[in-house]
Amino acid sequence: MPVMEYLERNAELYPDEVALVELNPEEKETRRITWKEFELIESDRFNPYRREITWSVFNEKANRFANLLISRGIKKGDKVAIIMYNCLEWLPIYFGVLKSGAIAVPFNFRYDADEILYCAELAEVDIIVFSSSFIGRIEANATRLSKGRLLIYVGDNCPSFAESYHELVADCSSKAPYVEITDDDFGAIYFSSGTTGFPKAILHKHLSLTQAAEMEQKHHATGRDDTFLCIPPLYHTGAKFHWMGSLVAGSKAVLLMGTKPETILETISKEHCTIVWLLVPWAQDILDALDRGDLNKDDYRLEQWRLMHIGAQPVPPSLIKRWKEYFPNHAYDTNYGLSESTGPGCVHLGMENTHKVGAIGVPGYRWECKIVDEEGNVVKHGEVGELCVKGPGVMTCYYNNPEATAETIKDGWLFTGDMAMQDPDGFYFLVDRKKDVIVSGGENIYPVQIEDFLRRHDKIKDVAVIGLSDRRLGEKTAAIIEIKDDMTCTKEEIEEFCLELPRYKRPKEIIFAEIPRNATGKIEKPRLRKMYGADNLVAKENMG
């Protein structure tokens, strides 16, 4: 059944129970409050950094937005993009899109103005919903973006080139629209990039969304009494579909804007969180703060916290060993997935398999896996090959890209591009990537984009960007730079030049050296990784 039916069920069965909480505790450091707000805070009658909605309100807001879209001529198969930071409006808007029969198209909030335009045109988006942080990026291409598209703004002080979400939905019905939607209808487009950094639009049916939701609830046994803490961005398939376990269970979830160790532990304590999904850097930060004595876990109410799980990047077994020393009663899990498989879970470790930490796990609920060689033949246990997955969450296609689709989906199998091996117990281990994508702090970084940028420097002859193992981030970017003959250059010059890049794309290491290329002119990145010790530490731990 389409996943929206879970929302409608929850609104009927648990109308007055809290569905979502939005927390912005770190906003205290920058937000100015009024004296009236201060007096209310002091009397514990108001918290300007916390908002919540019940299941009935959640459903009503989704219905209002669905009816708004329909009133503007949106029909089944049209596309509505969402580019916002996590907030209480995000999920009701997403579900409103689904209820209207349209296709939800979440945008990465890191996209710059040109990437937003590129993805809007690639996915043939009809409407773009955005919030205040993205006014400048939308305005930069407002003329082209608004041509044939409606721009809807969520927030105060609506810009002149958009229409106000709050004003538009105020007069819309809170009743569910009648739109017949089946599992075979298209539900969402997510974006993925190859090593070139050019996004592909990944088209999924409603079947994929429901599969991801039901799988998450089953994998982590999410129940009515659980509270899920969600910190990563909702545009990401991982965050959204991990949350959907709460949707299926009809339980509360908390959207936390903040990643400081004390913020996370305080939220778990005050909101009675039982399931927490962390990225490797945040888990490392918590452990480091505990090691230094900056945090004392006894200062927080954590006894209800039953599960910590990690995804989005390889997890060092040493991290989990440290974690279990501080939290011996925690269940642990990790999930493997990609946007083409509707996010995490096509392979998962399983809470009962902590003894296999280091593996990505076994096939997830309703999934199959295999490892094949270059000819597509299944390899023997212990041999390395490409990991392939098959199940109800596999994408329909790369939208308007039949060539890439044919390369990735063969006989119903999704070829992931990741190299893996299977041990005698049937557990899968990642060994290396076919692609050169760097995963740093759970974010994909595409070396070609950085290389193209650096080549604009008038002193640079050649450049290669690779990932170096990093204890906190998993990987960090390193730029190997070959300077033009008879010229000199300093690291400070390169660092200043890279200020034009978004912070997360700036190289963390700069190495001046000759760039090795093979006979066909391709950079020998495996050789560079070996030269500079960039072999993945997680792989070493796994195989050791």
* Confidence check: pLDDT of 88 > 80: yes
CATH number at residue 522: 3.30.300.30
How many structural domains comprise the chain?
Answer: 1
Of 172-186, 370-384, 438-452, 491-505, the one with minimum mean pLDDT is 438-452
Q: Residue holding tokens 């250059």?
A: 489
Flag whether pLDDT at 535 surpasses 60.
Answer: no
Q: Is the pLDDT of residue 46 over 70?
A: no
Tell which residue, 257, 258, 231, has the closest CA to residue 243. Answer: 231
Helix (H, G, I), strand (E, B) or coil at 39: helix
The verdict on residue 538 lying in a domain is yes
DSSP classification of residue 514: P
Quick one: pLDDT band at residue 474, thresholds 50, 70, 90? confident
In a domain, 513, yes or no: yes
Instruction: Give the mean model confidence (pLDDT) for residues 265-286.
Output: 93
Q: Is residue 455 part of a domain?
A: yes
Residue 481 lies in domain: 438-543
**Residue 458 belongs to some domain of the structure:** yes
Which tokens in the block code for residue 210?
């429901």
Instruction: Kindly report, residue by residue over 300-326, the tens digit of the pLDDT.
Output: 999 999 999 987 766 778 789 999 999
Q: What percent of the chain has pLDDT over 70?
A: 91
The confidence band for 35, taking pLDDT boundaries of 50, 70 and 90, is very low
Residue 33 pLDDT grade (very low, low, confident, very high; cuts 50, 70, 90): very low
CB atoms within 10 A of CB 241: 25
Whole-number pLDDT of residue 485: 79
Per-residue pLDDT reduced to its tens digit, 405-429: 999 999 999 999 888 899 999 999 8
pLDDT digits (tens, 9 = 90+) for 188-224: 999 986 434 578 999 999 999 999 999 999 999 999 9
Q: CA-to-CA distance for 18 and 477, rounded, in angstroms?
A: 41
- C-alpha distance from residue 86 to each of 30, 82, 446, 534 (Å): 18, 11, 24, 34
Which has more confidence, 446 or 325? 325
Q: What is the mean pLDDT of the chain?
A: 89
Residue 386 falls inside a structural domain: no
Mean pLDDT to the nearest integer, 511-530:
77
- Split at pLDDT 50, 70, 90, the class of 433 is low
Residues 6 or more apart whose CB falls under 8 angstroms from that of 277 comprise 228, 229, 230, 231, 232, 238, 239, 242, 309, 310, 311
The per-residue pLDDT for 361 is 94
What is the predicted pLDDT for the residue at 489?
A: 94
Rounded distance between C-alpha atoms, residue 336 and residue 359, angstroms: 10
Closest listed residue to residue 463, CA positions, set 493, 494, 433 = 494
Residue 425 lies in a domain: no
- Report the C-alpha gap between 483 and 411 in whole angstroms: 48
128 located within any domain: no
292 vs 485: which has the higher pLDDT: 292
Token pair for 302: 């954590």
Residue 357 pairs in a beta bridge with 359
Residue 142 domain-assigned (yes or no): no
Report the residue count for the chain: 544
| DSSP letter, residue 488 | -
Q: What is the pLDDT of residue 319?
A: 84
